[in-house]
Amino acid sequence: MVSQSMNRSFWQTLPKPIVALAPMDGVTDAAFRFISARHGRPDIHFTEFTHVEGICRAIPNVLRNLEYNEIERPVVAQIFGNEPAAFYKAAHIIGALGFDGIDINMGCPDRAIASRGCGAGLIQTPKLAQEIIRATQQGARDFAKGQGALPGRVPLPVSVKTRLGYDCIVIEDWIRYLLETEPAAITLHGRTLKQGYRGEADWDAIGQAAEIAHTTQTLLLGNGDILTPADACNKISQYGVKGVLVGRGAMGNPWFFLDKDAIRSSTPPSTGFEISRQDRWKVALEHAEYFDRIRGTIPFPIMRKHLGWYARGKEGGLRSQLVRAGSLAEVKQLLVNEGHFVAPIH
């Protein structure tokens, strides 16, 4: 059922600057986002990127990526592909699933994805990128006014997440192409596809894009190397972006977003929100329990990397054991042995 509680133009109504959880393939699954929502409350949650063809064909393993909990709102479905017609159809399905927005991935650096003209590969075909955005926008509009549409429903806002370029920085031309389609927002990761995740994010280039977008209605957000609330605050104030998407800084650290009001006031604590060791492992166990509850046929070892991210400093020994755990029962026993056991969370 489509929720009527969330304003579909949420990009405009959110507090600024926006501090949101970045979509990360293999990371921001339903359990990760649930824990993030319960213990951090980022301004927006994005799903892992999901192929539009799989959505249109209703492939069960693909649709699993689009499972979400109401506490995640506003929640945005991130999708990828290279066929405008499929994006048009996927927009209808995403609308029917009750999402608050659609984000188009034009930044994935995986060569297997890019070589098919998807993800960051679309930077090399800007006209096709425009067709895809417009097809998605049209699909969202047609769904909103279609048969059985709820009174007052407006089209889902369409946003884009991308990079500085393919093998070199082409930000000025590329951002202008995207702005011609008037997306609700553009999130810019400060590296090219060729860089992958190597080296430092180029925030000067992100700032240049923010200046170009400044006179438009499109919000320009930055992404890359935001590891602490202080990083977020500094990047926002220095480069003029309308917000940031946080990736690695939120791994094993949903509490990052508890500092978002301080970030907005330009006075974040230098160390971030303080959490006790006991409470940190309590939430890690809650994360593991929720993952185990909803995982279906997904093997439990997928959870291992998340458990490893909760470890800090001198906890390397516990970390090395947790990243080998094969079941929830093993995780609980390890935490019992370390004196971190808490009763199961229901």
Residues with Cβ within 8 Å of 295's Cβ and at least 6 positions away in sequence, in order, are: 31, 302, 303
Query: pLDDT tens across 314-342, in order?
Result: 788 999 999 999 999 999 999 988 776 55
For residues 38 and 64, the answer to whether their CB atoms sit within 8 Å is no
How far is residue 2 from each of residues 99, 149, 191, measured CA to CA in Å? 8, 10, 36
pLDDT computed for residue 8 by the predictor: 45
> 161-194: per-residue pLDDT in tens?
999 999 999 999 999 999 999 999 999 999 999 9
Section 197-217 average pLDDT: 95
2: pLDDT strictly greater than 60: no
Task: Find all residues with CB under 8 Å of 336, minimum gap 6, and list them.
Answer: none
Q: Tell me, what DSSP letter sits at residue 272?
A: -
Q: Cα–Cα distance between 291 and 305 in angstroms, integer?
A: 12
Residue 307 has pLDDT above 80, yes or no: yes
Q: Which residue has the tokens 């320009």?
A: 220
Split at pLDDT 50, 70, 90, the class of 5 is very low
Phi–psi pair at 186, nearest 5 degrees: -125, 125
More confident residue, 149 or 77: 77
Q: Give the closest residue to 288 by CA, choosing from 322, 257, 317, 313.
A: 322
Across residues 43-48, what is the average pLDDT?
Answer: 98
DSSP 60-80: HHHHGGG---GGG-SEEEEEE
3-state secondary structure of 1: coil
Predicted confidence at residue 163, as pLDDT, reads 97
User: Can you give the pLDDT at residue 6?
Assistant: 39
pLDDT at 266: 79
The CA distances from residue 310 to 58, 143, 224, 329, in Å, are: 34, 41, 21, 18
How are beta strands 101-106 and 18-21 bridged, if at all? unpaired
* pLDDT tens string 108-156: 999 999 999 999 999 999 999 999 999 999 999 999 987 555 666 789 9
Of the candidates 136, 54, 128, 62, the one whose C-alpha atom is nearest the C-alpha of residue 95 is 136
Under 8 Å between Cβ of 307 and 331? yes
What pLDDT is stored for residue 253 in this prediction? 95
User: Which residues make Cβ contacts (< 8 Å) with residue 281, sequence separation at least 6?
Assistant: 310, 335, 338, 340, 342
58's torsion region: left (phi>0), alpha (psi -120 to 50) or beta?
left
Rama region for 272: left / alpha / beta (φ>0; ψ in -120 to 50; rest) = left
Q: Is residue 7 predicted with pLDDT exceeding 70?
A: no
Provide the b/e sequence for 283-298 (b: ≥16 CB within 10 Å).
bbbbbbbbbbeebeee
Mean pLDDT of 11-30: 96
The pLDDT > 90 percentage for the chain reads: 84
Mean pLDDT of 90-117: 95
This prediction's pTM: 0.93
What is the chain's alpha carbon radius of gyration, rounded to the nearest angstrom?
Answer: 20
Q: Annotated catalytic sites, by residue? A: 108
**pLDDT at 3 > cutoff 90:** no
Predicted confidence at residue 274, as pLDDT, reads 80
Q: What is the DSSP string of 201-243?
A: --HHHHHHHHHHHTTSSSEEEEES---SHHHHHHHHHHH--SE
In this structure, are residues 70 and 285 in contact, taking their beta carbons and an 8 Å threshold?
A: no
Q: What is the mean pLDDT of residues 221-250?
A: 96
Average pLDDT of span 12-29: 96
Do residues 30 and 294 lie in contact, with contact meaning Cβ atoms separated by under 8 Å?
Answer: yes
pLDDT digits (tens, 9 = 90+) for 248-301: 999 999 999 999 999 998 777 766 778 888 999 999 999 999 999 999 999 999
Residues contacting 105, CB < 8 A, separation 6+: 23, 49, 78, 79, 80, 118, 119, 161
Q: Would you place residue 4 in the very low, low, confident or very high pLDDT band (cuts 50, 70, 90)? A: very low
